[in-house]
Amino acid sequence: MEAKEIVEVAADQQTVACDGGREGHPRVYLAFGDKNEVTCPYCGTVYRRKNTGR
């Protein structure tokens, strides 16, 4: 699955919620854990913490 969008979030953010925007899908909550990037399993949107050197 190709990433359709990259969304930058605050460097200290622990989780994000994704509902697919216009395309829509069930809302999912994604935890960063020790990673600086997470990808929504439904729509492929990538959430990236800011200022992580990537």
Give CA–CA dist 35/30, Å, rounded. 11
Q: What is the dihedral of CA 10, 12, 48, 35, to 10 degrees?
A: 180
**For 1-54, how does the pLDDT look when each residue is reduced to its tens digit (9 = 90+)?**
555 789 999 999 999 999 988 878 999 999 999 999 999 999 999 999 998 555
Please report the pLDDT score of residue 37 as a whole number.
Answer: 96
For the chain, what are the domain ranges?
6-49
- State pTM to two decimals: 0.83
Please report the pLDDT score of residue 53 as a whole number.
Answer: 55
Please report the pLDDT score of residue 45 as a whole number.
Answer: 94
6-49: CATH topology is HSP40/DNAj peptide-binding domain (2.60.260)
Give CA–CA dist 19/41, Å, rounded. 11
